[in-house]
Structure 1
Amino acid sequence: MTTETTENQPVWDDGFWTAFPSLQGTVTTGTCVIGLGGSGLTVIEELLARGEAVVGLDASDVAAGAAGRNGGFLLAGAYDFYHDAVRKHGRDRALAIYHATLVEMQRIAEAAPATVRFVGSRRIAADEWEVGDCRAQMEAMQADGLACEWYEAADGVGLTFPEDASFNPLARCRVLARKAAQAGAQLYGHSPVTAVQGTRVETAEGTVHCRRVIVAIDGRLEVILPELTGRVRTARLQMLATAPTTEITVPCPMYYREGYEYWQQLPSGSLTIGGFRDQGGPGEWSLDARPMAPVQELLEAFVRTHLGVSAPITHRWAACAGYTESGLPVLEQVREGVWALGGYSGTGNVIGALSGRAVVAAALDDNPAPARVLHGPQWRATVTGGRG
């Protein structure tokens, strides 16, 4: 592999950030939120809007996991392509999810406007089968009035989605964290949770007593809440970035081979790319969030041969994300007073924020409607131990 200039640092990190202190001693609050990524910070935003006292904890730092180490795509819809979502979840729910994500993308942009660029996105087919699948997706979307256009150019054949966006995921989370702290939330970094006992949360050096706990993490969700083992599984996602280049121009986020590879070009000219999780072997189902040679070599080869970019590699990084069999997130009360959300299957930027708003609506407002957009009319805000 080409020698990189950073060690597991995402290209999004500009180095200008002061971490929150760790939790020391005992604090009492209304709600304890575990996880300071995009979904956890959305939960905190919603709680503060309701006048709730909040303590937020993170094992490392704000968006130090997948929330600040992903590809920077804001995509409408569920994990599955729209026509697949219709087949799996029914047309009404697939369409409701799509519309809800479009609204959520606007809210994300309004909350952190300098971090978002509405430039659309593209799906590029890797073979003839995928060309046909793109046609099926376009037909389904256009039949339901969703923006989707056929695309053919030198870089491939596929679809353009004009309402999607690109953003800096780490900068967005840091904006949300600053706003939350200014609004009165007590936020603590470098405070890994060692136990959730009822509504008491233990860390290495502190304890939170509260009325409810909301565990809002993606990767490692099954570690904090073992009852979710088998329903959510953690995978390592890997990325790299090049130095700024003019060798190609990438106008918007691109995804290829059914989304297994994804790349974009930043305003600086740097190219960022992730993927090949499925070709890295079973070891990519891992809690280890370090970049590893097999996948990094595949990514670099793709940059050099498929994209034709020779600019030096400047960043290599990885993160852990949770996956579910259905592709829909975990969103439920797993114990009395303890709620879980995560398992976004690689689509947590928008779906995670939706899930965060839904869990607060259910837990504080006794309003199941937002959760039912994602999980259907059968969803119940009760302790079931089964699918939410």
Structure 2
Amino acid sequence: MIDRQPTANQPVWDNGTWTPFPSLQGQITAGTCVIGLGGTGLTVIEELLARGETVVGLDAADVAAGAAGRNGGFLLAGAYDFYHDAVRKHGRDRALAIYRATLVEMQRIAVAAPGTVRFVGSRRIAADAWEIGDCQAQMEAMQADGLACEWYDAADGVGLTFASDASFNPLARCRVLAQKAVRDGAQLFSRSPVTAVQGTRVDTAQGMVHCDRVIVAVDGRLELLLPELVGRLRTARLQMLATAPTTEITVPCPMYYREGYEYWQQLPDGSLAIGGFRDQAGPNEWSLDATPTDAVQQMLETFVRGHLGVAAPITHRWAASAGYTESGLPVLEQVRKGVWALGGYSGTGNVIGALSGRAVVAAALDQNYAAVRLLLGERWSPEVTLGTGA
């Protein structure tokens, strides 16, 4: 049994100073009800407010209490697939357009939440000879299309450097967005789990929202709120830990290893935050439970001590739920008349989630589907995925 720290299941990003919004009590009316106050939901709210919409936002727990505030703090350009794989799967033009769109979105994230983003680049470190070859293929494809990618070979490994990527504090970013949304007129409610979405009426334990449209911006566990999506995505548990500040190593930027299954970065105070080993723990990590487990936490700690050579005490252990799709493309559609779903970012929701949020607002309010088709393909149409529910 591993030692359980006082901050078990509290992310390193949480400084303990946040006051949650009140819960929803009674009935309220708005143009749009947004369910989920993570990065995607708050981006949706930002877009709606910019269009003069009245907005109510709900969260079952609190702002960024899910994966949005409990992830590794990486802002990476591109889609779920490495660039050369995205070119193979989606075609060069679309893969390049998505990559460029994420570069723009990363800048928007930095502007919208000042002080939370550091443009320090990122690195992919190969775990074996096969992955070294895969890195070479990725570099060739990226450089051929004018995207920032350089070969990396140093004492800590061989792989690639991506100068355009960034590190950020995901929880602080969401809290900045939430506070701004309230100042701009949104009504936000924490600790208000949704019990039913009945047409465009949203029920909570102690309240109700009447609205013209509902946008469900929930990544992990999305299929619980919208049963139409069962089988379309699966919820996985992602686990992390953090150490006390250390000078034992210097990690200048976010690092991902073994095709991204392990990922770590060093925070400005010297703390090390690392996640991974989901695939090594078997089917148990396909779970709705967002509680850290001994098995994965032990693997993470062993990696920190052995591979990274860090002996600093473990100060935080936490987990989060994230939605995965078989294609790696997000769920982004109108599942019922007036009810839109967003989620299933396959562990890449910080940037793709924000893009998806803007795409849904353009589709729902403007009938502009260009951004949705960029992410999901030209053959996507609103008629194909619209369910028959009232």
Q: How far 1:3 moved relative to its partner?
A: 4.1
Is the contact made by 2:363 and 2:369 (CA closer than 8 Å) also made in structure 1?
A: yes
Query: 2: CA distance between counterparts of 1:321 and 1:375?
Result: 19
Is the contact made by 1:2 and 1:313 (CA closer than 8 Å) also made in structure 2?
A: no
Q: How far 1:343 moved relative to its partner?
A: 0.3
Give the AA of the match of 2:364. Answer: A
Partner residue, 1:230? 231
Partner residue, 1:134? 135
- Which segment drifts farther, 280-289 or 65-74? 280-289
- Say how many residue pairs are matched: 386
Q: How far 1:281 moved relative to its partner?
A: 1.3
TM-score by length of 1: 0.98
Q: How far 1:383 moved relative to its partner?
A: 6.2
Query: 2: CA distance between counterparts of 1:297 and 1:107?
Result: 37
Where do 4+ consecutive residues of structure 1 move more than 3 Å? none
Give deviations 1:181-217, integer Å, cap 9, x for gaps.
0111000000000000100000000010000000001
Give deviations 1:49-97, integer Å, cap 9, x for gaps.
0000000000000000000000000000000000001111111111111
Report the 3-state secondary structure (helix = DSSP H, G, I; strand = E; otherwise coil) of the residue aligned with 1:210: strand
> Unmatched 5+ residue regions in structure 2?
none
Partner residue, 1:34? 35
Is the contact made by 2:124 and 2:255 (CA closer than 8 Å) also made in structure 1?
A: yes
Query: 2: CA distance between counterparts of 1:284 and 1:340?
Result: 24
Give the AA of the match of 2:257. Answer: Y
> Unmatched 5+ residue regions in structure 1?
none
Query: 1: CA distance between counterparts of 2:135 and 2:386?
Result: 38
Partner residue, 2:154? 153
Report the 3-state secondary structure (helix = DSSP H, G, I; strand = E; otherwise coil) of the residue aligned with 2:41: helix
Query: 2: CA distance between counterparts of 1:298 and 1:23?
Result: 41
Query: 1: CA distance between counterparts of 2:35 and 2:183?
Result: 19
Is the contact made by 1:36 and 1:57 (CA closer than 8 Å) also made in structure 2?
A: yes
Report the 3-state secondary structure (helix = DSSP H, G, I; strand = E; otherwise coil) of the residue aligned with 1:212: strand
Partner residue, 1:54? 55
Partner residue, 1:360? 361
Is the contact made by 1:66 and 1:219 (CA closer than 8 Å) also made in structure 2?
A: yes
Alignment of 1:369 with 2:365, yes or no, is: no
Give deviations 1:132-172, integer Å, cap 9, x for gaps.
00000000000111000000000000000000000000000
Query: 2: CA distance between counterparts of 1:150 and 1:206?
Result: 55
1:97-246 to structure 2, matched below 5 A, reads 97-246=98-247
Query: 2: CA distance between counterparts of 1:188 and 1:93?
Result: 38
Partner residue, 1:84? 85
Query: 1: CA distance between counterparts of 2:165 and 2:382?
Result: 31
Q: How far 1:372 moved relative to its partner?
A: 1.3
Query: 1: CA distance between counterparts of 2:211 and 2:383?
Result: 19
Is the contact made by 1:333 and 1:383 (CA closer than 8 Å) also made in structure 2?
A: no
Query: 2: CA distance between counterparts of 1:88 and 1:382?
Result: 24
Q: How far 1:382 moved relative to its partner?
A: 3.4
Partner residue, 1:269? 270
Give deviations 1:210-259, integer Å, cap 9, x for gaps.
00000001000000000001111100000000000000000000000000
